[in-house]
Structure 1
Amino acid sequence: MHIRFDVPADPAYPGRVAAALSSVRLRKYGYVGAVLAAVGAIGFAVSQAFAGGDRITPLCLAMVVAGLLSMLYSPWVRSRARRRSSRYAVEGAYDITDDNIMMRSGSESGGIAWDGVARVKDTPDFWIVYVGRMPATVIPRHLMSAEDAETLRAFMAGRGLLPPR
């Protein structure tokens, strides 16, 4: 297998990559925020139902506010990453073989050996490649031909990195 495709210097592309990678890392803040807000709301309701709940009410309200802020943290970071990364738009390329994924962006280049890839997550725009537990890079499907995308999907499924269709 040998798949090669170019990445144009699109100002929106780095933002989409940053948003895809950060959403993986920031998902836990939404979950923690939802739990904090729910526990705080339940505590507030219970404290209002019983007399003497005035001492617990500020704590419950603080938990609700902290939960809401935690849930808003992830969208804020993604939006900031999109805004800041738009100035990094440079031409690049991917060269994917049976052995590794080579990426070039401007004057920088790097690669990941398939033996080091732990798993691949399928998203609407990208395949997110994990090395260990951390997302390392993305492979943009929309920039590949349909035949190359299907060949790569079959290759990754064959290696157990993606579930078969």
Structure 2
Amino acid sequence: MQISMWVAYDEKRLRRTIQFILRPQMRLVRILGGVLFVLGLGLVALEPTASVAYVAVALGLVFVVAIAPITVARSMRMQSNVIKDGFHMTLDDEWVTMTYPLAESRFRWAGLDRIVDTPEAWYVMFGKIQAITIPKHPMTEEQRTQFVAFVAGLHPAGK
């Protein structure tokens, strides 16, 4: 397999990738926030004058509603300006290579944990929080078919 393409910087795609990576952790934060909210409401029902109960309700709401967007926004701000110029992506039988004007990243397919297929892109996971987004729109239909066939031939953990 030899697929080569230019991938323009896309802030929305980067935001979706960050949300995808953070989703398991944010799910836990939301569950804990919900528990804290319900416990706070229970305390308010039992003792309406207890300020701790109102703090628990407020913190629960923050955990359920605000932590995920705040975390994604902070992660977006922490990204290097190097990525804002777009990059050239090469997919071959051994490597995923992303070449930016000022940097280069390479990952061996042998280190692949899993691939998640979405309508817009494939998320290639190397570990639990390292994801490479392979967008579908810069590829031709033939390249997409070639990539899917390549992925199907990888070890079971990559399927």
Equivalent residue, structure 2, for 1:75: 69
Q: Structure 2: 5+ residue runs without aligned partners? A: none
CA distance in 2, matches of 1:132, 1:80: 22
CA distance in 2, matches of 1:95, 1:14: 21
- Name the residue aligned to 2:40: 40
Partners of 1:141 and 1:35 lie apart in 2 by: 39
> Is residue 114 of structure 2 the alignment partner of residue 119 of structure 1?
yes
TM-score by length of 1: 0.74
SS of equivalent residue, structure 1 residue 142: coil
Establish whether residue 99 from structure 1 lines up as the match of residue 72 from structure 2: no
- Structure 1 contact 100–114 (Cα < 8 Å) conserved: yes
Give structure 1 stretches of 5+ with no counterpart.
48-52
C-alpha separation in 2, matches of 1:122 and 1:59: 45
Cα root mean square deviation, aligned = 2.7
Equivalent position of 1:58 in the other structure: 51
Whole-angstrom distance in 1 between the partners of 2:12 and 2:77: 7
Pick from 18, 21, 31 the counterpart of residue 18 of structure 2. 21
Change (3 A) 1:44 1:150: farther
Aligned residue pairs total 152
Cα displacement (A) at 1:2: 0.8
Distance 2:150 2:31 in 1: 34
Identity %: 24
Q: Deviations over 1:91-116 (max 9, x none)?
A: 31110011110111222111100000
**Cα deviation, residue 156, structure 1:** 1.8
Question: Structure 1 residue aligned with 2:153, among 142, 153, 158?
Answer: 158
